[in-house]
Structure 1
Amino acid sequence: MKKNSLFLITVSLMGSLLVAPTQAKTLEDIQASGKIVIGTDGTFPPFQYFDKGQLSGFEIDIGNEVAKRLGVTPEWKPMSFDSLLAGLNQDRWDIVIASFTVTPERAKSVHFTSPLYCTGGVIVSKKPNIKTISDLDGKTVAVQTGSIFFQKASDIPGIKQIRNFASDSDARNAMVSGRADAWLSDKFVAKLAIASQPDQGMKIGDFVTKATVASATKNGNNELSSAYDKILADIQSDGTYEKISKKWFDEDIRCM
Structure 2
Amino acid sequence: MNKLNLKKMFYLAVLVSGLGLVSQASAASLEKVKEKGILEAAVYKNFPPYSYKEKGKQRGIDIDLAKELASRMSVKPIIRMIGADENMDDDLRNNIWKGHYLGGGTADVMFHAPHDREYAAAVDQVNFISPYQLEKLVFAFDKDKIGDAPTIANFTHDPIGVELDTLSDFYLLRALDGKVMPKVRHYKSVTEAVDALKKGEIVAVMGPRGEVEGVFNKQVPENVVIQHLVTPGLSRSSWALGLAVKADYTKLADEINTHMAAMIKDGTVKKIFNAYGVTYNAPAAAPEKTTASVK
Does residue 215 (structure 1) correspond to residue 267 (structure 2)? The answer is: no
Which among 124, 130, 153 is matched to residue 134 of structure 1? 153
User: Deviations along 1:150-202, whole A, 9 cap, x unmatched?
Assistant: 5554664524157363x432343455557766422222433341743638x54
Which structure features the higher share of strand residues? 1
SS at the partner of 2:134?
A: strand
Task: Specify whether residues 38 and 149 from structure 1 end up closer, same or farther in structure 2 by C-alpha distance, changes over 3 A only.
Answer: farther
Structure 2 residue aligned with 1:123: 139
Q: What's the offset of the Cα at 1:62?
A: 1.2
* Runs of 4+ more than 6 Å apart: 21-25
SS at the partner of 1:216?
A: strand
CA contact (8 A) 1:89 1:218 kept: no
Structure 2 residue aligned with 1:59: 62
Structure 1 residue aligned with 2:129: 113
- Structure whose alpha-carbon radius of gyration is higher: 1
Which among 102, 121, 130 is matched to residue 115 of structure 2? 102
SS at the partner of 2:186?
A: strand
Structure 2 residue aligned with 1:6: none
> In structure 1, what is the Cα distance between the partners aligned to 2:243 and 2:169?
19
Task: Specify whether residues 84 and 52 from structure 1 end up closer, same or farther in structure 2 by C-alpha distance, changes over 3 A only.
Answer: farther
Pick which of 146-155 and 60-69 moved more: 146-155
CA contact (8 A) 2:53 2:59 kept: yes
Q: What's the offset of the Cα at 1:146?
A: 6.5
User: Deviations along 1:32-66, whole A, 9 cap, x unmatched?
Assistant: 33322222224343333323221223222211011
SS at the partner of 1:185?
A: strand
> Any residues of structure 2 matched to 1:189-228 within 5 Å, and which?
189-192=211-214, 193=216, 195-196=218-219, 198=221, 201-207=223-229, 209-228=237-256
Does residue 93 (structure 1) correspond to residue 93 (structure 2)? The answer is: no
Pick which of 121-130 and 243-252 moved more: 243-252
> In structure 2, what is the Cα distance between the partners aligned to 1:250 and 1:155?
29
Q: What's the offset of the Cα at 1:119?
A: 3.4
SS at the partner of 1:189?
A: helix
CA contact (8 A) 1:115 1:213 kept: yes
Structure 2 residue aligned with 1:27: 30
CA contact (8 A) 2:128 2:245 kept: yes
Task: Specify whether residues 172 and 245 from structure 1 end up closer, same or farther in structure 2 by C-alpha distance, changes over 3 A only.
Answer: closer
TM-score by length of 2: 0.62
User: Deviations along 1:50-89, whole A, 9 cap, x unmatched?
Assistant: 2322122322221101112223322222233456842332
Structure 2 residue aligned with 1:77: 80
TM-score by length of 1: 0.69
CA contact (8 A) 1:133 1:206 kept: no
SS at the partner of 1:96?
A: strand
> In structure 1, what is the Cα distance between the partners aligned to 2:38 and 2:131?
23
> In structure 2, what is the Cα distance between the partners aligned to 1:217 and 1:141?
38
User: Deviations along 1:102-140, whole A, 9 cap, x unmatched?
Assistant: 345542334321221223111224473384333344776
How many residue pairs match? The answer is 233
Task: Specify whether residues 149 and 28 from structure 1 end up closer, same or farther in structure 2 by C-alpha distance, changes over 3 A only.
Answer: farther
Which structure features the higher share of helix residues? 1
> RMSD across aligned C-alpha pairs, in angstroms?
3.7
Pick which of 103-112 and 49-58 moved more: 103-112
